[in-house]
Amino acid sequence: MSDRALITGITGQDGSYLAEHLLREGYEVYGLARWTSTSNEDRIEHIRDDLNLLTGDLADQPSLDRAVEAADPDEVYHLGALSFVPESFTQPTVTSNVTGLGTTRMLEAIRKYDPEIRFYQAGTSEMFGNAPDERQSIDTGFYPRSPYGVSKLYAHWMTVNYREAHGMYATNGILFNHESPRRGTQFVTRKITRAAARIAVGEQDELRLGNLNAKRDWGHARDYVKAMHLMLQQDEPDDYVVGTGEHHTVRECAQIAFDEVGLEWEEYVKVDEKFFRAAEVDALQADPSRAKRKLEWEPTTTFDEMIREMVQKDLAAVRSDD
Ligand code: NAP
Ligand code: F7E
């Protein structure tokens, strides 16, 4: 009998790549998706017939209980969250409810149904925030700088607590930024690659950005979902930091994206304070050495390759819209 996995957040960037990966690995894949009046299934359209979708909401305990029962999974990958940092400042309580308490609801659903189910929590480098260390490892202290980061930190410790209090196989993956052509269009990399493509074909005149000096450790989502899967194949549950170990500025991202379409980024990018954050995270850079060693995992795509791939996909999309 094949292994069964339940993915929350299956309609998101990571959910779609993870579903593809688990299908390739021979899993029977279940996905929790919110009920919406218009379809949010674009990212999983190509594999839709191979998936078992269940409706549910992280704010609604009975729907999660039903989903866990219906999927009867061996592994749960909990990726569902409100993941856009700026919006968490304007919607702090719904962020806490969905991203924070939603994790406790999933853990409870599992504990009640079958505490042997393995659980992956989608942790984030945003929990490090104003990090005291230049490179962040599992030993770095947490200092979140947004309601999103605070909610994820609560979810992190609840995951640790269910492991220690109930003996559950509950693992935190602390993943640094990862992007792809499927990244939401408000996140900075995709905002830049899409704008570069649209400007190149004459559909947009300029690109307004916030803090160009912000540094992030950006990898490819396709690589990172493999690390999630590996984490749940270990003998014991644990916590892991996953990133490339390199960081780049927003400015460098713009320079590569515009270079890919043969344009000078300075001619099109304008700084707009509207995109500055109430509390910024200036720089993040992973020390992923432990995850690489224990999981035998390596990122395969460089930052430069990934940004150029995203620009090419965005170019193809704007051209096909014509
Ligand atoms: P994403 O594209 O924003 O996807 C988030 C998913 O959560 C979507 O499927 C969304 O459904 C679902 N969701 C939101 N609210 C929900 C609710 N109330 N009930 C059920 N589902 C809900 O995020 P991502 O980039 O794939 O990231 C996956 C996870 O990793 C998230 O938890 C994120 O916080 C975390 N993370 C991401 C990164 C990164 O760089 N990408 C790094 C570290 C951690 P809809 O489609 O209906 O909106
Ligand atoms: O911002 C700066 C901004 O929104 C990156 C989420 O997946 O990764 C993501 O969070 C940086 C910030 O991602 C604009 O100030 C400049 O310093 O792409 P982002 P994020 O906030 O790092 C983490 C790991 C997660 O867990 C989150 O879920 O870029 N920046 N100008 C801008 N950012 C945006 N969005 N838009 C701008 O115009």
Q: Confirm whether 266 is domain-assigned.
A: yes
Residue 294 counted as domain residue: no
106 and 253 both lie in a single domain: no
29 and 53 inside one domain: yes
In contact, 241 and 136? CB cutoff 8 Å:
yes
Residue 168 located in a structural domain: yes
Structurally, the chain folds into a number of domains equal to 2
256-297 tens-digit pLDDT: 999 999 999 999 999 999 999 999 999 999 999 999 999 999
Q: Are residues 42 and 157 in the same domain?
A: yes
Q: What is the pLDDT of residue 2?
A: 77
Q: Collapsing DSSP states into helix, strand and coil, what is residue 97?
A: helix
Cα(307)–Cα(254) distance, rounded to whole angstroms?
Answer: 9
Specify the pLDDT at position 1. 65
The SS3 assignment for 13 reads: helix
Judgement on whether residues 199 and 226 belong to the same structural domain of the protein: no
Q: Please report, for the domain that includes residue 43, its CATH number.
A: 3.40.50.720
Flag whether 104 is in a domain: yes
Which atom of ligand 1 is the closest one to the Cα of 221?
41
Concerning whether 25 is annotated as a catalytic residue, the answer is no
Ligand nearest to the CA of 253: 2
State the residue range of the domain holding 195: 184-217+247-282+302-321
Using one digit for the tens of pLDDT, what is the confidence trace for 1-23? 679 999 999 999 999 999 999 99
Query: Is 30 a residue of the active site?
Result: no
Q: How far is the CA of 168 from the centre of ligand 1 (A)?
A: 23
Is residue 287, in this structure, part of any structural domain at all? no
Q: Which amino acid is at 67?
A: A
Residue 273 sits in a domain of what CATH number?
Answer: 3.90.25.10
Co-location of 58 and 143 in the same domain: yes
Q: What is the pTM of this model?
A: 0.98
Q: Does the structure show a pLDDT above 80 at 189?
A: yes
Across the range 68-84, mean pLDDT stands at: 98
Q: Is residue 292 part of a domain?
A: no
The H or E element containing residue 120 is strand 118-124
